[in-house]
């Protein structure tokens, strides 16, 4: 049986249009998925849209549409952006689809039958934008502690999930699985939260109707987070064991933003425990992007629109920047200056130049045919061994979801390549007939090192890597064996590369 890997993004609310925050999570998932696929895993990569709830209902009313019309329209924008961003997802789930509704109803009924969901009455403060109830003591100056907006007092009959019953079980799971909640600082936050005590959770609403009805009680719709979280199993075919559900669940990693960590590490695991289902292996919360130092918001009109960025700078430059600029897990700031700087220095100067220098020297000194390496001196051996070690380094960083470190380690080898050219001075070797063997070794080492570099870069920058690998005469799909030194054979035709990343003139921007 082949090894499987299941990675998910949050499902995005359709009351907002996609921005770089959404693109960030989806891109990270895409890189992991592409990398694991290359390494021979049978990968399932899920994304989708969250289409129920009061927030969506209100947005539809103010847009003069039905909620479904709004969802149909906005989910297309997400899909179009994912195409443009070169996201290779396996499946896209919408919570209005039958397969999802069937799964939600099934798990809800199951928990009603086991007594984990019961009918009660609720009176508390509700924040509509956050779709969250708060107790009096949790409010800050009478407002929502998360978004600071006014809350309203709601009293309603409600179904409750016995979350309190799972407190100890959850704590011992977190304790026994140090990898479950990441990064570590977030793990500690969740542990303290759970230790303060879990209350039963209201999992139905009667004040609006845009949602999935509670089985056997049409007056209630199921709470949007109960509905949404189960997308991760419904997309696989839950409750049917013989479907992808049996094959891919539990998820290897749920990638999310830090604002929705509690839903994924407290609510979701306790729902699963109650249903007797295995828990996801890892939940990783990344940080938030600000823009030029400010919170991104519609009212500040500073929302960074990924379509515009891609049109202006190219898809791979944007993909590279988002994962290189900020360590995954920390907050980061987006600025055009930082993006242009990365393009000019990392992509045009370091990466692109190295390929240009190498391919034009092979063109000039060996008529575009890759020579076999000959005598290997210390300097060649050092550069080669750096390149040979790279696949393992990248593998361990990707396993930790340390994307910026993975890219940094790739750039260490790129910089070593540029330095290697400066130190071996091929133009001088070319003038000396007895140095032909040395020159061959230098050219081979440069080409082969970059073939490994672009193989490892292909999950991050698929289009650029494909192009570069064609210049290097490696026109095939990469797999695990592509990472081995010596794959590129002498005699391969190498093509002089044109600039992969033209420099951007900052003044004009």
For ligand MSP, the binding residues (CB under 6 A) are 10-13, 16, 21-22, 24-25, 50, 228-229, 231, 256-257, 259-260, 288-289, 296
How many angstroms separate the Cα of 414 from the Cα of each of 313, 499, 504? 22, 16, 21
Residue number with CB closer to ligand MSP (260 or 402)? 260
Least separation in angstroms between CB 273 and ligand MSP: 17
Least separation in angstroms between CB 212 and ligand MSP: 14
Least separation in angstroms between CB 101 and ligand MSP: 15
In sequence order, the β-bridge partners of residue 126 are 133, 152
Least separation in angstroms between CB 21 and ligand MSP: 2
Residue number with CB closer to ligand MSP (259 or 400)? 259
Token duo for residue 380: 């060649």
Q: How far apart are CA 240 and CA 224, in angstroms?
A: 23
Least separation in angstroms between CB 261 and ligand MSP: 9
Residue number with CB closer to ligand MSP (10 or 426)? 10
Task: Please state the length of the chain.
Answer: 509
Residue number with CB closer to ligand MSP (13 or 134)? 13
Count the neighbouring beta carbons within 10 Å of the beta carbon of residue 357.
Answer: 17
- Residue 14 CA, chain-centre distance (Å), reads 19
Residue number with CB closer to ligand MSP (11 or 497)? 11
Residue number with CB closer to ligand MSP (10 or 459)? 10
Least separation in angstroms between CB 457 and ligand MSP: 23
Q: Contact 62/195 with Cβ under 8 angstroms?
A: no
Residue number with CB closer to ligand MSP (15 or 482)? 15
Residue number with CB closer to ligand MSP (251 or 260)? 260
Least separation in angstroms between CB 262 and ligand MSP: 11
Least separation in angstroms between CB 13 and ligand MSP: 4
What is the number of the residue whose Cβ is closest to ligand MSP? 257
Residue number with CB closer to ligand MSP (47 or 384)? 47
Residue number with CB closer to ligand MSP (48 or 473)? 48
DSSP letters of 399-449? HTT-HHHHHHHHHHHHHHHHHHHHHH-HHHHHH-GGGHHHHHHHHHHHHHH
Least separation in angstroms between CB 408 and ligand MSP: 21
Longest Cα–Cα distance in the chain: 90
Q: What is the DSSP letter of 122?
A: E
Rounded to 5, what percent of the chain is helix, strand, coil? Answer: 50, 15, 30
Q: How far apart are CA 453 and CA 411, in angstroms?
A: 9
DSSP letters of 276-343? T-PPPS-EEEE--EEETTEE--TTTT----HHHHHHHH-HHHHHHHHHHHS-BTB-EEE-HHHHHHHI
Least separation in angstroms between CB 260 and ligand MSP: 5
Q: Give the 3-state DSSP-derived string for 164-229, with helices as H, strands as E and coil as C.
A: HHHHHHHHHHHHHCCCCEECHHHHHHHHHHHHCCCCCEECEECCCCCCCEECCEEEEEECHHHHHH
Least separation in angstroms between CB 106 and ligand MSP: 17
Helix H or strand E encompassing 46: strand 42-50
Token duo for residue 360: 């034009």
How many angstroms separate the Cα of 55 from the Cα of each of 10, 149, 157, 172, 208? 17, 14, 20, 35, 10
In sequence order, the β-bridge partners of residue 217 are 214
Residue number with CB closer to ligand MSP (173 or 288)? 288
């Amino acid at each position: 049986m082949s090894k499987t890997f299941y990675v998910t993004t949050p499902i995005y609310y359709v009351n907002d249009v996609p921005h770089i925050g959404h693109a960030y999570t989806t891109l990270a998932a895409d890189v992991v998925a592409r990398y694991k696929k290359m390494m021979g895993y049978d990968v399932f990569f899920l994304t989708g849209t969250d289409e129920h709830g009061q927030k969506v209902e209100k947005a539809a009313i103010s847009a003069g549409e039905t909620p479904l019309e709004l969802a149909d329209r906005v989910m297309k924008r997400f899909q179009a952006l994912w195409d443009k961003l070169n996201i290779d997802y396996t499946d896209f789930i919408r919570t209005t689809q039958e397969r999802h509704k069937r799964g939600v109803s099934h798990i809800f009924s199951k928990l009603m039958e086991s007594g984990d969901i019961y009918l009660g009455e609720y009176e508390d403060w509700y924040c509509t934008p956050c779709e969250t109830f708060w107790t009096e003591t949790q409010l800050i100056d009478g407002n929502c502690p998360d978004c600071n907006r006014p809350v309203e007092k709601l009293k309603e009959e409600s179904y409750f999930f016995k979350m309190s019953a799972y407190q100890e079980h959850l704590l011992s799971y977190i304790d026994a699985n140090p990898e479950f909640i990441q990064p570590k600082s977030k793990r500690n936050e969740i542990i303290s939260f759970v230790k303060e005590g879990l209350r039963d959770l209201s999992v139905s609403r009667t004040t609006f109707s845009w949602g999935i009805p509670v089985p056997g009680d049409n007056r209630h719709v199921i709470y949007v987070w109960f509905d949404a979280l189960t997308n991760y199993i419904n997309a696989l075919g839950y409750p049917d064991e013989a479907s992808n559900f049996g094959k891919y669940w539990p998820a290897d990693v749920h990638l999310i933003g830090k604002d929705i960590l509690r839903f994924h590490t407290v609510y979701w695991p306790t729902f699963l425990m109650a249903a007797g289902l295995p828990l996801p292996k890892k939940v990783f919360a990344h940080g938030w992007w600000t823009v030029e130092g400010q919170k991104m918001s519609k009212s500040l009109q500073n929302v960074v629109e990924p379509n515009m960025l891609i049109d202006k700078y190219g898809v791979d430059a944007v993909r590279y920047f988002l994962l290189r600029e900020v360590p995954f897990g920390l907050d980061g700031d987006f600025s055009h200056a930082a993006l242009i700087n990365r393009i000019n220095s990392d992509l045009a100067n370091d990466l692109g130049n190295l390929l240009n220098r190498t391919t034009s020297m092979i063109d000039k000194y060996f008529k575009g045919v890759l020579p076999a390496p000959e005598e290997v001196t210390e300097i060649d051996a050092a550069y080669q061994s750096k390149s040979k070690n790279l696949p393992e380094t990248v593998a361990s960083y990707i396993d930790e979801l340390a994307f910026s470190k993975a890219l940094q380690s790739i750039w260490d080898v790129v910089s070593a390549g540029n330095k290697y050219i400066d130190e071996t001075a091929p133009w001088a070797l070319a003038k000396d007939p007895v140095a032909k063997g040395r020159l061959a070794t230098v050219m081979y080492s440069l080409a082969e090192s970059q073939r490994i570099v672009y193989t490892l870069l292909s999950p991050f920058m698929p289009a650029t890597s494909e192009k570069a690998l064609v210049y290097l005469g490696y026109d095939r799909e990469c797999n695990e064996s592509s990472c081995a030194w010596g794959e590129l054979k002498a005699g391969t035709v190498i093509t002089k590369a044109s600039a992969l990343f033209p420099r951007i003139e900052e003044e004009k921007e």
